[in-house]
Structure 1
C-alpha cells in the first residue's frame, strides 16, 4: 500500500513503472493536458451549454483562478473539493483546479440528493471546498445548503453560483496569481461516490492517469480528435458523464452538455451542434430512437457513434441505432474502472448488438465462479466478472476493509456483475449478482426478461424485480411503461415473451403497468425503489399465470 495525497491507496511504485513503461500511463495531469490544448488552440470550444460556450483558453484560465482561490483559503494537496451542480462548465473548472493544485474533485452530488444527504457526504469526505448552484437539489424549495454547512469546520472554501446565463465562467474569482502547480499524475484527483443502494456510499478514488488511460484508448479506437463533438446525456455528476468530459479533454474535442428544457427536441440539439459521438445509458438511446422514429424519415447526419453503458444494452436498442445510421458502442464500465470495455466501429453488427465488446488497451477481464471468487472459469461459462489494469481505481476512500474485500487473492477486482466471454474475448453481461431472482433455487436473470420485453412494439421501458413468496422465496414481477397512448394487456405481453424465447421457468408471475418508470440522474431505472414501492403498497402487482395457448390471471 502507498499513501498518496495523504489518502491510503492501492498504488505501488511497481504498478506506476509497469503501466508507464507499457504506455498506458503518462507523465501528464489532466490540467497539463488541457493547458496544452489551450496553448495550441485557445479559441477552440471546450464545453458548450445551451446559453454559454467556453473555449479551452477560458477553461484553463478559470481553472487557474479557482486553484489560486483554493490556495489562498488554505487548502492543501489531498483536500477534497465537492460540486453540487447540474451539467455545466464549472464542473470542468473544478476538475482542472484540483488537478493543478493536487486537490481532489468530487462532482458526484446529484440532482436528486437532498440538502441533508449532501451534508452527510460532505462530512464523510471531510470536504474543504464546495461549489454549488443556487436553488439546486431535491429539496431546494425548503432547505438551504448554506445553513447546513455553516458549522462544518473542515469546509474552508464555499462558492455559490447562479443558474447559467450568457457570460463568463465563474467571473467572481480573482486573478490566477501564483498558485502551486502539482505535476504528479498518480495522486488522487477524483472522488466519486457510488449509489449506496446497499448501505453507506463508497467513495471511489482515481488519479489523473487512471482517468485518462481508458479515455485515451476510447478516443484512439473510435477516432475521436479535436474535430469531434461529443455529447453527454448523462449528467457530469455521474461517472459516465464525467467520463465523457475526460474523453473530450483527452481528444481535445468539444463537449456539449445535456441541459435542454423539458420537452425540447434532443434530435434537433444533436443536429444543430454537429455532435459526432454521444454518451448515455440505454434509456437515453430508447428515448432518442422514439423521437427519431416519430419524425418519420428523420436522420442524424453527423452522429456516427453512441456509447451506451450503465446497464446492459438491449439488443433491440443497439439494432435500432444501426437502423438509423448510428453505430452503437455497446460498452461495459463502472465507477471503479471507467469505460474499459466496448465494441469497435468495425465489429460485426452481430457482436455490436449481442455483446459488450472487449477490454480496451491496458485492461484485462476474467470470469470467476460466483460462489468462489478465486476459481477462474473457462470461456463460455457464466460467472462473476473480474478485472484489473491501468484504469482501475486506487481504492475506496477511508474504507480499507471495503477496498480489500473487493479483490480476490490473485488481485482481480470483483465487480459483482455476472457474465461470460466467448472464444474471441467478447463479453456478454447477464446481470448483477445481487439482482438475480432466485425462485425455488432456480436463478432468473432480470436483464434477459427486460430485453425480450423491450422487443414488444408497445413497451417503452421495462424492469423485472422480485416479489417475496412464502414457498418459493421469490417470484418475478414485470414492471412496464408503455409507449405513448398505449395500454398493455399482460396476457399478450407474456405471450410475446414466450414467442421471443423466454423459458416458462423464467416467466413473470406478477405484472404492473406504470405511467412512467422512475429514473436516476444517470438514466438508470432504480429497481430497489420499485421493490420498496411494492413493499409499501404504492405499486400493486397483478398476479398472472402463463400457460402456452392461454394466459390466465390468478385470483
Structure 2
C-alpha cells in the first residue's frame, strides 16, 4: 500500500487501532475513499456518518501532493491530529538522518514500531522501500514473538528501530532466555528519553556496535535531531545535533521551534486544516556549552509520554475528577521500561475509599490503555508549594514512595542483576552523578547490609579523567553501591514508612588502598568492575562501611572504610 501511494501520489492514511474520530473525512467529501484492512462495526458506522456530514467550506488546495498521513497526540497538544506528508518532507527527513550513518553498512531494518506510528512508518517501512533494504517486522500488536524474531537475526548489517521500552524488553528477554544476540551495526532509540545505562546495555549486552538516539515529532516527518551512532551519551536525555536542513530555536519557557523542508505538509484537527511553515514543540531542550549537544529535559506542558504513546495529563485529570467527584493531581512517573507511567493522587472525602479497579476501568474506557494501578494513591491533603498551588514535584515523590512500599509489602521482590533506574530516585544523586550501572546481589540475611554492584568501565564517563579512573571515583562507587544495597535490603524486608534520604556526605575515609598495577592491567573500555560493600556499624545517621572494588579478573583495585552520613 505504501509503495502504491508513493508511485501514484495518492494519499494513504494509516489509522491506529481504536481510532474513533473520523471527522477529517468531511474535508475530503469530494474525493473517493477506499478502506483497506479489518474494521469493526462501530468504526464503520463512524466512518459512514463522517462521510455524510459535509462541511460548508471546500478543501483548500494543497501546495504539494500529500502521500502519507499518520495520527499523533504528540508534543504540540494533547488532542489527536492528522499529519500529512509530501514526498519532499519525507525525503528531507530521511536524508538528514541517514547522513549520520555509514549507510552502506545497512542492508536490513528490524522495525519494532508499527507503520501507523511515524517513527516506524518513515524510518522503517518507507526507508526500506526507497533504498531497497530488507524489512523485518512483526505485524499486529506488540508482543513477545517480536523479540523471538529479533533474536533470530544473524546479519551484521542491521539497523534496529525501537523506543526505549522495546530495547528494555529485548534486554529482559535476552537475560531471561539466556539468548546471546548476534553482533549488529546500529540502532535508533526514539520516541522517549534514552538513558545512559540503556545505551550502554544496548552496546554491551545486545551487541549493537554503534547505538544512536533520535529525537523529533510527527510534524517533523519525524526527525529533528540525532545523536550519531557510536557516540555514547554522558547524561540521560542527550539527543545530539540538528539534522542537516533543520533550524532549531530554543525559546525559554515555551519550547523549541523548528523550520526546514521536513516540516509536515498539513495538520488536520477539529475540522480545520493548516499548512505550517514552522512548528513549536512544547519540549524543554538545553544545549551543552562544551560540545553543543542538545539535551531533552522534559516538557513545558502536562503531557505523559508512555513508551511513545502520549496523553494529556490535564485531560486525564479532568475525566477522573468528573467521574469520581474528588480532587485529582496527575503526574508523570519515571519508569524504567516505558519511560514514563501515569501517577494519580486522589483526595476523597474522609469516608470514601479508592477503588483501583473502577479507576482502571474509567481510564481504559476513555484512553484505551491500562495504566499501572500501583501508582494510584489516596491522600488526606494535596501537597502545596509556597504559592499555594499543588506541588507536582511533591506529588511525584509521594506516588513513588507509596508504590514502592506497597509493592514490597505485597511480597514483591527484585530479581538480580537489577538496573539502577528502578531505584535511582531513592538516592540524593541525579544523572550524570549516578555512576553505578546495576545491583548484582544483596545478602539473603535481612539483618546484614551487604551486597555487590557493578560498573562497566567507560573512559569517557564523568568518573574518569584523561581516560583513566580517578582514585576518588572508586570511593564514590563504594558510597553509591552502599546506597543501592541498603535500599534493596530494606525493601526486601517489606519495611513500611521508608524515607528517601535528602542528602548524603562522606564524613571520613580510612584504610584506603589503591592498586596501580591492577588499574593499568584491567581498566579497559567495557571491563566490568565489581563493588562489594558491607555495613559494619551504625550510629544514628552515621554508617561505617567496608568496601572494595574488584576488576573483572578478581584483582583488588581499591578498598576503603568510609563513614557515611545520610538523612
Question: Which residue matches 2:384?
Answer: 471
- The correspondence of residues 306-385 of structure 1 with structure 2, limited to 5 A, is 306-324=187-205, 325-326=207-208, 327-337=210-220, 338-347=222-231, 349-350=232-233, 355-370=238-253, 384-385=255-256
Question: Which residue matches 2:559?
Answer: none
Kindly indicate whether the alpha-carbon contact (under 8 Å) linking 1:367 and 1:385 is maintained by their aligned counterparts in 2: yes
SS of structure 2 residue aligned to 1:130: coil
Rate the CA distance shift 1:234–1:460 in 2: closer, same or farther, 3 A: closer
- The correspondence of residues 10-49 of structure 1 with structure 2, limited to 5 A, is none
Rate the CA distance shift 1:271–1:463 in 2: closer, same or farther, 3 A: same
Q: Distance in 2 between matches of 1:494 and 1:281?
A: 18
Question: Which residue matches 1:266?
Answer: 147
State the shift of 1:346 in Å: 4.4
Q: Distance in 1 between matches of 2:340 and 2:81?
A: 28
Rate the CA distance shift 1:128–1:196 in 2: closer, same or farther, 3 A: farther
Q: Distance in 2 between matches of 1:125 and 1:317?
A: 44
Kindly indicate whether the alpha-carbon contact (under 8 Å) linking 1:461 and 1:482 is maintained by their aligned counterparts in 2: no
CA-based RMSD of the aligned residues comes to: 4.4
Rate the CA distance shift 1:194–1:125 in 2: closer, same or farther, 3 A: farther
1:102 equivalenced with 2:9 (yes/no)? yes
Q: Distance in 2 between matches of 1:392 and 1:361?
A: 13
Q: Distance in 1 between matches of 2:237 and 2:32?
A: 45
Question: Which residue matches 2:84?
Answer: 205
Q: Distance in 2 between matches of 1:235 and 1:289?
A: 20
State the shift of 1:460 in Å: 8.1
TM-score when normalising by structure 2: 0.52
1:289 equivalenced with 2:171 (yes/no)? yes
Rate the CA distance shift 1:278–1:123 in 2: closer, same or farther, 3 A: farther
Q: Distance in 2 between matches of 1:543 and 1:306?
A: 42
State the shift of 1:277 in Å: 0.6
Q: Distance in 1 between matches of 2:49 and 2:281?
A: 38
Q: Any stretches of 5+ residues in structure 2 without a counterpart?
A: 54-61, 305-312, 314-329, 347-381, 432-495, 505-539, 542-567
Q: Distance in 2 between matches of 1:351 and 1:471?
A: 34
SS of structure 1 residue aligned to 2:181: coil
Question: Which residue matches 1:247?
Answer: 127
Q: Which moved more, 1:280-289 or 1:240-249?
A: 240-249
- Residue 422 of structure 1 is aligned with which of 282, 288, 298? 288
- The correspondence of residues 97-496 of structure 1 with structure 2, limited to 5 A, is 97-107=4-14, 109-111=15-17, 113=18, 117=20, 119-120=22-23, 122-123=25-26, 126=29, 128-134=32-38, 140=40, 143=41, 145-150=43-48, 153=51, 186-195=64-73, 200-225=79-104, 228-243=107-122, 244-259=124-139, 262-264=143-145, 266-272=147-153, 274=155, 276-296=158-178, 298-301=180-183, 303-324=184-205, 325-326=207-208, 327-337=210-220, 338-347=222-231, 349-350=232-233, 355-370=238-253, 384-397=255-268, 403=274, 412-423=278-289, 424-435=291-302, 450=334, 454=336, 463=341, 465=343, 467=345, 469=382, 471-472=384-385, 473=390, 474=392, 475-476=395-396, 477-478=399-400, 486-487=412-413, 496=424
Q: Distance in 1 between matches of 2:66 and 2:267?
A: 11
SS of structure 2 residue aligned to 1:249: helix
Kindly indicate whether the alpha-carbon contact (under 8 Å) linking 2:23 and 2:271 is maintained by their aligned counterparts in 1: no
State the shift of 1:310 in Å: 0.9
State the shift of 1:467 in Å: 3.6
Q: Distance in 2 between matches of 1:290 and 1:154?
A: 49
Rate the CA distance shift 1:500–1:131 in 2: closer, same or farther, 3 A: farther
Q: Distance in 2 between matches of 1:125 and 1:196?
A: 24
State the shift of 1:290 in Å: 0.9
Give deviations 1:30-66, integer Å, cap 9, x for gaps: xxxxxxxxxxxxxxxxxxxxxxxxxxxxxxxxxxxxx
Rate the CA distance shift 1:271–1:436 in 2: closer, same or farther, 3 A: closer
Rate the CA distance shift 1:147–1:264 in 2: closer, same or farther, 3 A: same
Give deviations 1:527-548, integer Å, cap 9, x for gaps: xxxxxxxxxxxxxxx9975455
SS of structure 2 residue aligned to 1:393: coil
Q: Distance in 1 between matches of 2:169 and 2:187?
A: 13
Give deviations 1:255-292, integer Å, cap 9, x for gaps: 12223784426154443474701111111011011112
Q: Distance in 2 between matches of 1:151 and 1:436?
A: 31
Question: Which residue matches 2:484?
Answer: none
State the shift of 1:446 in Å: 7.5
1:497 equivalenced with 2:425 (yes/no)? yes
Kindly indicate whether the alpha-carbon contact (under 8 Å) linking 1:281 and 1:309 is maintained by their aligned counterparts in 2: yes
SS of structure 1 residue aligned to 2:152: helix
Q: Distance in 2 between matches of 1:466 and 1:499?
A: 23
Rate the CA distance shift 1:120–1:290 in 2: closer, same or farther, 3 A: same
Q: Distance in 2 between matches of 1:333 and 1:296?
A: 34
SS of structure 1 residue aligned to 2:145: coil
Give deviations 1:308-333, integer Å, cap 9, x for gaps: 11111122211210112213211101
State the shift of 1:345 in Å: 2.2
Kindly indicate whether the alpha-carbon contact (under 8 Å) linking 1:215 and 1:246 is maintained by their aligned counterparts in 2: no
Question: Which residue matches 2:461?
Answer: none
TM-score when normalising by structure 1: 0.53
Kindly indicate whether the alpha-carbon contact (under 8 Å) linking 2:164 and 2:339 is maintained by their aligned counterparts in 1: no
Q: Distance in 2 between matches of 1:203 and 1:265?
A: 28
Kindly indicate whether the alpha-carbon contact (under 8 Å) linking 2:190 and 2:215 is maintained by their aligned counterparts in 1: yes
SS of structure 2 residue aligned to 1:128: coil
Kindly indicate whether the alpha-carbon contact (under 8 Å) linking 1:216 and 1:247 is maintained by their aligned counterparts in 2: no
Rate the CA distance shift 1:362–1:488 in 2: closer, same or farther, 3 A: same
- The correspondence of residues 5-84 of structure 1 with structure 2, limited to 5 A, is none
State the shift of 1:428 in Å: 0.6
Rate the CA distance shift 1:399–1:268 in 2: closer, same or farther, 3 A: closer
Q: Distance in 1 between matches of 2:407 and 2:26?
A: 42
State the shift of 1:336 in Å: 0.2
State the shift of 1:130 in Å: 3.4
Kindly indicate whether the alpha-carbon contact (under 8 Å) linking 1:355 and 1:426 is maintained by their aligned counterparts in 2: yes
